[in-house]
Amino acid sequence: MQPKTWLAGLAVVATLAVPVFAAAQQAGGTLKLYHRGNPPSGSIHEEATYSTTMPYQSVFNNLVVFNSQKDVESIENIVPDLATSWSWDSTKTKLTFKLREGVKWHDGKPFTAKDVQCTFDLLQGKSKAKLRKNPRKSWYWNLQKVTADNDYQATMHLGQPQPAMLALLASGYTPIYPCHVSPKTMRTNPIGTGPFKFVELKQNESIKFVKNEDYWKPGRPYLDGHDWTIIKSRATRVLGFIAKEFDFTFANDISIPLLKDVNEKYSEAVCHTAPTNISLNLIVNREKPPFDNADVRLAMATALDRDAFIKILFQGEGQKGGAMLPPPSGTWGMPDNVLAKAAGYGDKAVDVKKAQDLMKKAGYGPDNRLAVKVSTRNIATYRDPAVILIDQLKSIYIDGELEPIETSNWHAKVARKDYSVGMNLTGIAVDDPDVTFFENYACGSQRNYTGYCNKELQELFMKQSSMIDQEARKKLVWEIDAKLQLDVARPMIAHYNAATCHAPKVKGFVRKKNGSYSDWRFEDIWLQQ
């Protein structure tokens, strides 16, 4: 090699090396974030909201987690956490975890397999201690028991094979709780094994977490802590972020219209826009006439102009889809050719004509219009789409009247079936059919608001859950999703995007593109000094 070439090569290496060294993780500093309101409690197992999972996830570990540096939540991206490895038995109904040794709870007590057993006993209502609320009971329909084989090995015994059990365990909603701490203490002063220790929650003011110096993962976390300022007013908190008072926004707090403002006024901010895996959907009381008539329900689903919803509400940043998050972000959503067969996803003029015919068949028409109350929570994110819905229903002889319901009464009203038509939002914790189907469509599930129960589909839910071949499973999932849409179980209107932003000095954060409930361990995040 000639000296010139050699030198040139060295220069290239040196140039490439600079960013590598510059990007080396730096320890220290406290991440400053804002929170949108008081979390209902610090106990992740009792809540179903970002308000709890986002700040408190860093207190805990799971058995397994989604790789924080990959942007997709899927079974392939699951890595060990408190478990060092896992294995299925030959029947695929016993899932055994080898557990990490030497891990301590934040109060100094050792973590053992008993804690794993206790956690799932608590979730299944088998333990003496009881949760006040158990929103994800339906996730464990197939879990028969968990046994502590010895101090560092636990086995989950399933009723039938369920590969997706690992995805449920990797969710931010599935931390391992300590046996020796009561559910009440977990709500107010949670103890975990995670990278950060809970310090205090001051209502309406702040939440503080400090680094767990005894964390089992070498070199983590990088941060000394993370401090949250609770700011109820969205205008104030976004202005606070723009004024660089905070390093990180709350999850998905920056709506698409707001994102333009943030980009304009704080151009260096790094904003991750991605699907929230929250969908707008219609709930129809199928027990209440005339909605006990399948034609009326189908007419409503067929008449929906989903593009208009997406354009008006999300400035085009949304996707049409079924129950599962649509591709390319979603792993399980129906492709366009399958989706097109569902009610209301074809040519709009043709669909409206079809819907009008269905309404006429049910006895309604221009001279005999159906008056109906469209109930929804009295919050802008619910109310606005309800108003658009009312407008669209006019074209099929339905005169809707908005019935705004105070938040505290919304679920009670829905549970009583004291509504005809409702506008609803559904957040999905993990992009997997085992979560979506069993939580929202299975017979008897607490979060199946419409009480939809189709025994044939229930069988298919269980069948897809047990399938080992994930490609074959996907095809069955599409089939089920298409049937759910045709059956008007809970007609989907749109899945929508939102942004989470942070200061440029925040490094190591990867936003998942198919879920936003499991990103918040903060152990890989560091601040560039």
Partner 1 sequence: MASYVIRRTLLMALTLIGISIVIFGLLRLVPGNIADILFDAAGFIDPAEKAALEDELGLSDPIPVQYWNWIWGLLQGDLGFSYVTELPAYDEIAPRIPITAKLAVLALFFSVLFGLPLGVISAVNQNSALDYVLRVVSLSGLSLPSFWLALLILMGFVHWFDTIPIYTDPPDNLWDELVLYSIPAAAVGFRSSALIMRLTRSSMLEVMRQDYIRTAKAKGATDNSVNYGHALSNAVLPVVTIIGIEAAFLIGGLIVTETVFNIPGVARFLVEAIQWRDYPIVQNLVLFIGFVTVVTNFLVDILYVALDPRIKYE
Closer CB to partner 1, residue 410 or residue 496? 410
Selected from 7, 17, 340, 415, the binder of partner 1 by CB under 8 A is 415
Which tokens in the block code for residue 100? 């990490």
CB 379 within 8 A of CB 391: no
Alpha-carbon distance 190 to 184, whole Å?
9
Q: Which stretch binds partner 1 (CB under 8 A): 71-79, 269-277, 380-388, 404-412?
A: 404-412
Residue 290, preceding peptide bond in cis (omega within 30° of 0): yes
Site for partner 1 in 372-391 (CB under 8 A): none
CB 417 within 8 A of CB 287: yes
CB 217 within 8 A of CB 523: yes
Selected from 17, 199, 243, 340, the binder of partner 1 by CB under 8 A is 243
Q: Give the bridge partners for 157, in sequence order.
A: 94, 145
Answer yes or no whether residue 231 interacts with partner 1 by CB under 8 A: yes
CA angle 60, 162, 432 (to 5 degrees): 65
Alpha-carbon distance 437 to 420, whole Å?
23
Closer CB to partner 1, residue 78 or residue 280? 280
Residue 221, preceding peptide bond in cis (omega within 30° of 0): yes
The DSSP secondary-structure symbol of 340 reads: T
Strand pairing category for 526-527 and 506-507: antiparallel
Selected from 29, 51, 342, 390, the binder of partner 1 by CB under 8 A is 51
Answer yes or no whether residue 73 interacts with partner 1 by CB under 8 A: no
Selected from 76, 245, 418, 469, the binder of partner 1 by CB under 8 A is 245
Q: Which stretch binds partner 1 (CB under 8 A): 91-99, 109-117, 149-157, 203-211?
A: 203-211
Where does 266-335 have alpha helices with state H? Answer: 294-303, 306-314
Answer yes or no whether residue 48 interacts with partner 1 by CB under 8 A: yes
Alpha-carbon distance 154 to 116, whole Å?
7
Answer yes or no whether residue 410 interacts with partner 1 by CB under 8 A: yes
Answer yes or no whether residue 260 interacts with partner 1 by CB under 8 A: no
Question: Shortest Cβ distance from residue 201 to partner 1 (Å)?
Answer: 7
Selected from 399, 406, 418, 469, the binder of partner 1 by CB under 8 A is 406
Nearest to 253, CA basis, from 381, 80, 159, 140: 381
Answer yes or no whether residue 242 interacts with partner 1 by CB under 8 A: yes
Contacts of 10 (CB under 8 A, 6+ apart): none
Selected from 130, 145, 180, 260, the binder of partner 1 by CB under 8 A is 130
Q: Which stretch binds partner 1 (CB under 8 A): 36-44, 55-63, 299-307, 512-520?
A: 36-44
Q: Which stretch binds partner 1 (CB under 8 A): 41-49, 91-99, 452-460, 475-483?
A: 41-49
Answer yes or no whether residue 140 interacts with partner 1 by CB under 8 A: no
Answer yes or no whether residue 447 interacts with partner 1 by CB under 8 A: yes
Using the structure block, give the residue that is written with the tokens 């990797």: 170
Q: Is 461 exposed, middle or buried (0-12, 13-18, 19+ CB in 10 A)?
A: buried
Question: Shortest Cβ distance from residue 492 to partner 1 (Å)?
Answer: 17
Question: Shortest Cβ distance from residue 171 to partner 1 (Å)?
Answer: 15
Contact residues toward partner 1 (CB under 8 A) are 32, 38, 40-41, 46-49, 51, 130, 132-135, 184, 187-188, 201-206, 229-233, 235-237, 239-240, 242-245, 265, 406-412, 415, 427, 446-447
